């Protein structure tokens, strides 16, 4: 008979489901291995510690997935015992905190409201020389507390209060893990003076047999059903969802009969925690896929809308995105960037993508108009307004751009006297022609561009501050070619066929060595310079391949410690390094000599002497 009982026990322990059985008096008569693992009566500890109690001076690191919803019942008053003084915490708030028990030392806390949906919540901090990181992952449903190199993670279902206790020497004294309710190791228990059990590295198990069920389980719905079934007050059920000690389960409940009399009840449970985690991971992957698809669709939308902007680098994708956003509104756009970066191309692209695409696009280079004529060119004039004026009068660029876009290139060069009038037009969308007394109303979207540093010009009183803020509503900065050199192949592939057609020669290809040389050059003139260099190369190359020798550019040396340098006097080598640095900075600052002198901390005479030497060397190269 004894062997038979042993065989039955082994069979029960080998079940894939958890089994809990009680007698009529709600005392536990069976609790198989699977149920113990699920509920935490048995646990595999990766780190040991001694038994003990929460003591004054202990440091406690806390992580609450949803404050006030866990069965532990921690309140704001309990938190004040750790120096965490929060008057009211909304139920369901995520809370990460650290404090010292019973000393009154102020603790630290971080909160995330229940309505703010996030994937992770992290607090990385230091308290009383103890470094720690707390993290709650709402997708994979785990809470993790890291101290130094030790990691304490717990996977949860609905809600969980995780905590780690350090002693005064910052050593781990206790850490929370599965089965904390069964082991009476919830934070509330420890605050109320309960002792926590020792953890031995490896398998730890709590004795449950012949003990009252309510000693280890609070009277949740499933536990009440089991107790009622054991007394004959419940007929049982099949595969009902619920939770035990915070663990989500599917349960089947049956009475235990002996000679047709109910003598107990048996509960069979299946843990669905991992199933839920897998489902969460699947949902997250699906969301990520949707996000990636949305990004790809947006990128395609930007590429299709701004096919005039060549390149696929990250910088250019950002420019296309900004340009697309700008095209959705009629706000003033300010395009910043060095000369030759394609500011006018971008402006025209914004116009064509906007609701004003059927209206005119009028481009004005303010730097090319004589100062005495700028006002009449912009605003027009009445007949006889000045000597030599057209007898019929003339519409200005603002009127010509009515119901469309006016692109004001090189706005940084606009004389200050006219900046006031331009400000008035932008504000009121109205103006007076030169010599006129009738106010002209226009509906114009303004796009401005400059290669100047307008903020610096404002500080130095060369550009009106109020106008700057009026045009700087939607700024877009065009990167120079040297900062997106990865787009070089695409740009060359776009430009080259047009140049060969313009010159009237057969199609050309660029050799890999030529691309390498082009990629090492700083391109101070940007795409405009690239077009000129390629046009010359197309014209002088006799075959179908453009070689490095066909490029009229000077690539600065990358390494000075070569054989040629070693065979030169030190003074000559240092001078070459010096000239190369100055030349690079001149390119980088767009020929801003004041900026070069400021960066290198050199005087004007030194700079100009060096520039003469650079110019002389360039002349020697061009003669070659």
Q: Residue range 558-568: average pLDDT?
A: 51
Kindly tell me if the per-residue pLDDT of 542 is higher than 90: no
Residue 286: band (very low, low, confident or very high) from pLDDT cuts 50, 70, 90: low
Please report the beta strands in 395-528, taking only residues with DSSP state E, as ranges in sequence order: 404-409, 430-432, 439-441, 444-450, 474-477, 509-510
Residue 624: band (very low, low, confident or very high) from pLDDT cuts 50, 70, 90: very low
- CB–CB of 404/446 below 8 Å? no
The per-residue pLDDT for 331 is 84
Residues 177-227 pLDDT 10s? 877 777 778 888 899 999 998 988 888 888 888 899 988 887 789 999 999
Separation of alpha carbons 35 and 39, rounded Å = 6
Q: State the virtual CA torsion across 316, 317, 318, 323 in degrees, nearest 10.
A: 90
Question: For all residues of the chain together, what is the average pLDDT?
Answer: 85
Separation of alpha carbons 342 and 270, rounded Å = 65
Domain 2-38+209-271 has CATH 3.30.450.20: yes
Kindly tell me if the per-residue pLDDT of 23 is higher than 50: yes
- CB–CB of 346/355 below 8 Å? no
Residue 77 phi/psi, 5° resolution? -65, -40
Runs of H (alpha helix) within 504-560: 512-520, 526-540
Kindly tell me if the per-residue pLDDT of 371 is higher than 80: yes
The per-residue pLDDT for 64 is 92
The per-residue pLDDT for 236 is 92
Extents of the domains making up the chain: 2-38+209-271, 42-205, 306-477, 481-550, 563-623
The 3 state secondary structure assigned to 530-541 is: HHHHHHHHHHHC
Strand 261-271 vs strand 247-258: parallel, antiparallel, or unpaired?
A: antiparallel
Helix, strand, or coil (residue 349):
helix
Task: Output the DSSP codes for 296-345.
Answer: HHHHHHHHHHTTTS---SHHHHHHHHHHHHHHTS-S-EEEE--TTS-HHH
The per-residue pLDDT for 404 is 94
DSSP H or E segment with residue 247? strand 247-258
Residues 435-487 pLDDT 10s? 888 888 999 999 999 999 998 899 888 999 889 988 888 899 999 999 899 99
Q: Residue range 53-72: average pLDDT?
A: 88
Domain 481-550 has CATH 3.20.20.150: no
Strand 28-31 vs strand 42-45: parallel, antiparallel, or unpaired?
A: unpaired
Separation of alpha carbons 618 and 613, rounded Å = 9
271 C-beta neighbours (distance < 10 Å), count: 20
Kindly tell me if the per-residue pLDDT of 1 is higher than 80: no
Q: Residue range 75-101: average pLDDT?
A: 92
The per-residue pLDDT for 298 is 64
Helix, strand, or coil (residue 577):
helix
The per-residue pLDDT for 126 is 92
* Token pair recorded at residue 273: 């925690």
The per-residue pLDDT for 622 is 40
Tell me the whole-structure pTM to 2 decimals.
0.49
Name the most confidently modeled range: 37-41, 313-317, 553-557.
Answer: 313-317
Domain 306-477 has CATH 1.10.540.10: no
Kindly tell me if the per-residue pLDDT of 559 is higher than 60: no
Helix, strand, or coil (residue 82):
coil
Residue at token pair 């000597």: 387
Kindly tell me if the per-residue pLDDT of 81 is higher than 80: yes
Q: Residue range 276-292: average pLDDT?
A: 60
* Token pair recorded at residue 339: 């000369």
Kindly tell me if the per-residue pLDDT of 6 is higher than 50: no
Separation of alpha carbons 510 and 495, rounded Å = 12
Residue 458 phi/psi, 5° resolution? -65, -45
> What secondary structure letter does DSSP report for 224?
H
The per-residue pLDDT for 613 is 83
More confident of the two residues 66 and 391: 66
- CB–CB of 457/499 below 8 Å? no
Q: Residue range 518-529: average pLDDT?
A: 89
The per-residue pLDDT for 218 is 78
Class of residue 173 by CB neighbours under 10 A (exposed 0-12, middle 13-18, buried 19+): buried
Separation of alpha carbons 462 and 549, rounded Å = 44
Residue 397: band (very low, low, confident or very high) from pLDDT cuts 50, 70, 90: very high
Task: Output the DSSP codes for 456-487.
Answer: HHHHTTSS-HHHHHHHTTEEEEPPPGGGGGGG
CA 260 vs CA 234, 252, 263: distances in Å: 15, 20, 9
More confident of the two residues 612 and 405: 405
The per-residue pLDDT for 274 is 59
């Amino acid at each position: 008979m004894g062997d038979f009982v042993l065989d039955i026990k082994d069979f029960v322990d080998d079940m894939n489901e958890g089994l809990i059985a009680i007698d009529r008096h709600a005392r536990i008569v069976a609790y198989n291995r699977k149920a113990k693992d699920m509920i935490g009566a048995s646990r595999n500890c990766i780190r040991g510690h001694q038994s003990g109690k929460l003591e004054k001076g202990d440091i406690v690191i806390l992580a609450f997935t949803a404050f006030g919803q866990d069965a532990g019942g921690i309140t704001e008053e309990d938190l004040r015992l750790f120096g965490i003084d929060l008057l009211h915490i909304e139920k369901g708030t995520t809370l990460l905190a650290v404090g010292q028990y019973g000393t009154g030392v102020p603790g630290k806390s971080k909160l995330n409201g229940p309505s703010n949906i996030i994937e992770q919540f992290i607090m990385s901090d230091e308290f009383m020389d103890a470094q720690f990181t707390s993290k709650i992952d709402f997708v994979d449903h785990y809470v993790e507390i890291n101290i130094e190199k030790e990691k304490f993670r717990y996977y949860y279902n609905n809600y969980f209060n995780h905590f780690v206790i350090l002693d005064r020497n910052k050593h781990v004294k206790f850490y929370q893990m599965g089965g904390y309710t069964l082991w009476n190791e919830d934070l509330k228990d420890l605050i109320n003076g309960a002792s926590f059990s020792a953890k031995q590295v490896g398998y730890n198990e709590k004795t449950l047999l012949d003990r009252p069920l309510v000693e280890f389980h609070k009277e949740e719905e499933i536990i009440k059903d089991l107790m009622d079934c054991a007394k004959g007050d419940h007929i049982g059920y099949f595969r009902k969802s619920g939770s035990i000690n915070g663990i989500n389960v599917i349960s089947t409940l049956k009475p235990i009969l002996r000679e047709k009399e109910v003598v107990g009840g048996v509960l069979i449970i299946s843990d669905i925690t991992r199933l839920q985690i897998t489902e969460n991971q699947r949902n997250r992957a699906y969301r990520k896929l949707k996000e990636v698809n949305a990004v790809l669709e947006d990128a395609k939308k930007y590429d299709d809308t701004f096919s005039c902007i060549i390149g696929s680098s990250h910088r250019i994708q950002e420019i296309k995105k900004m340009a697309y956003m700008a095209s959705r509104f009629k706000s003033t756009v300010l395009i910043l960037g060095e000369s030759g970066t394609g500011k006018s191309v971008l402006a025209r692209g914004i116009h064509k993508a906007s609701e004003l695409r059927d209206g005119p696009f009028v481009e004005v280079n303010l730097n090319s108009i004589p100062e005495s004529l700028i006002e009449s060119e912009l605003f027009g004039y009445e007949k006889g307004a000045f000597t030599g004026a057209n007898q019929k009068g003339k519409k200005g660029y603002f009127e010509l751009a009515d119901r469309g876009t006016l692109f004001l290139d090189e706005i940084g060069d606009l004389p200050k006297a006219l900046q006031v009038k331009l400000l008035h037009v932008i504000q009121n969308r109205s103006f007076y022609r030169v010599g006129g007394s009738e106010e002209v109303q226009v509906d114009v979207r303004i796009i401005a561009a400059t290669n100047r540093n307008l903020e610096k010009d404002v500080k130095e009183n060369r550009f009106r501050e109020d106008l700057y803020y009026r045009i700087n509503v939607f700024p877009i900065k065009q990167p120079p070619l040297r900062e997106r050199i990865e787009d070089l192949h695409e740009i060359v592939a776009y430009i080259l066929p047009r140049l060969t057609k313009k010159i009237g020669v057969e199609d050309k290809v660029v050799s890999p060595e030529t691309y390498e040389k082009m990629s090492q050059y700083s391109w101070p003139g940007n795409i405009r310079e690239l077009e000129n260099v390629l046009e010359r190369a197309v014209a002088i190359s006799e075959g179908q391949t453009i070689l490095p020798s066909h490029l009229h550019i000077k690539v600065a040396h990358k390494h000075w410690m070569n054989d040629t340098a070693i065979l030169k006097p030190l003074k000559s080598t240092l001078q070459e390094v010096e000239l190369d640095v100055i030349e690079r900075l001149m390119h980088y600052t767009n020929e801003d000599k004041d900026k070069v002198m400021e960066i290198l901390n050199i005087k004007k005479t030194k700079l100009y002497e060096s520039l003469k030497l650079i110019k002389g060397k360039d002349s020697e190269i061009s003669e070659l």
